[in-house]
């Protein structure tokens, strides 16, 4: 199966996790219509009050990279950056072996 899965964690400054999550949910609405987007999910772990998790499945890495060009995405990235506690690290690129719903 040739899909591109990216899973990442962003850490917000103390007290800003919900603000960061809201921006990422807005981004999910924009990229959900992008070519090749199969899944773009935002989540949180109740035991970690500062982190937001993003899981994405795309038809290809190229489709993922092109999603950054969707109107409004760059603006949301710029809005999120001041909320981050440090520079974001690259997410895990995970090989999709199979499953349902993809």
The string of pLDDT tens digits covering residues 39-68 is 999 999 999 999 999 999 999 999 999 999
Which residue bears the tokens 């993003």? 54
Rounded to an integer, what distance in angstroms lies between the CA atom of residue 83 and that of residue 15?
A: 9
Q: Is there a domain that residue 8 lies in?
A: yes
At residue 101, the pLDDT reads 77
To 5 degrees, how large is the angle CA 88–CA 28–CA 35? 105
Q: Is there a domain that residue 17 lies in?
A: yes
Q: Is there a domain that residue 102 lies in?
A: no
Least confident of 20-29, 31-40, 88-97: 88-97
Instruction: Give the domain CATH number at 29.
Output: 3.30.70.100
Least confident of 40-49, 64-73, 75-84, 90-99: 90-99
Q: Which domain holds residue 41?
A: 4-95
Q: Is there a domain that residue 25 lies in?
A: yes
Q: Structural domain tally of the chain?
A: 1
What global pTM score does this model have?
0.89
- CB atoms under 10 Å from CB of 4, counted, come to 20
Pairing state of beta strands 4-11 and 51-58?
Answer: antiparallel
Tokens of 14: 């103390």
- When the pLDDT of each residue in the chain is averaged and rounded to a whole number, the result is 93
């Amino acid at each position: 199966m040739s899909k591109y899965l990216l899973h990442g964690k962003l850490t917000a400054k103390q007290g800003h996790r919900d603000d960061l999550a809201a921006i990422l949910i807005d981004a999910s609405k924009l990229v959900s219509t992008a070519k090749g987007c199969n899944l773009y999910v935002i989540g949180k772990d109740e035991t970690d009050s500062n982190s937001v998790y993003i899981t994405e499945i795309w038809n290809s890495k190229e489709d993922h990279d092109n999603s950054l060009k969707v109107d409004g995405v760059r603006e949301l990235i710029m809005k999120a950056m001041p909320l981050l506690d440090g520079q974001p690290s690259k997410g895990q690129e995970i090989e999709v072996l199979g499953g349902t719903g993809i």
